[in-house]
Amino acid sequence: MMANTAAVSMTIPITTDSLITACIEGDRTAQQKLYVNYCDAMYTLAYRITKNHELANDSLQDAFIEVFKNLKSYDGSGTIGSWIKTIVIRKAVKTIRYEVRYESMEGVSEPMTENYENFTSHLLEKAIQSLPDGARTVFTLVEIEGYKHTEIAKMLHVNEGTSRSQLSYAKKLLRTYLTNEEK
């Protein structure tokens, strides 16, 4: 009877709150579960920012060290995933900070929206990865992750205008890249 109880308790879904509590208490199994739940999505985000597998892995590792170190400060005001995502973004940006050069492009107008329905996700990902670091980072944070320019300006320590101009620049470069691929 005891074996059945143990099997049943392992199949009962664990709540996010109880998982977080177990992680804070140092439960390595819970920490592994939290990591496994988020590592793929967070690695993808880190890779999109760093454009380098090793740097993305380093950023992810540093981010999860910070997550487990500071988990008790998570106040539950947002999802745990968004809290982790913020840490991953900060770590990835910090990893490439010395390599990223933001060029002010004041006065560049927002490009018109194009319809690229025939392009594959692989081609679009390749196009995004071809962007310069600053433009790629801002494009990823705005268009993929949904951040506002004010948030990005604070994260990247740039002014809001620089964030906007980098997005415009990224879109212009993507349009050129995708138009050339179409030919």
pLDDT digits (tens, 9 = 90+) for 22-80: 999 999 999 999 999 999 999 999 999 998 999 999 999 999 999 999 999 998 888 99
pLDDT tens per residue across span 155-181: 888 889 999 999 999 999 988 888 887
Distance CA 45, CA 33 (A): 19
The token pair that represents 125 in the structure block:
């990902």
Segment 24-30 long-range contacts (CB within 8 Å, at least 24 positions apart): 24/71, 24/72
Distance CA 183, CA 151 (A): 37
Number of Cβ within 10 Å of residue 156's Cβ equals 21
- Look at the pTM and tell me if it is higher than 0.85: no
Distance CA 148, CA 25 (A): 35
Report all structural domains of the chain as residue ranges with CATH numbers, in order of start.
Answer: 13-96 (1.10.1740.10), 121-182 (1.10.10.10)
Distance CA 95, CA 54 (A): 11
Distance CA 106, CA 16 (A): 44
pLDDT tens per residue across span 63-76: 999 999 999 999 88
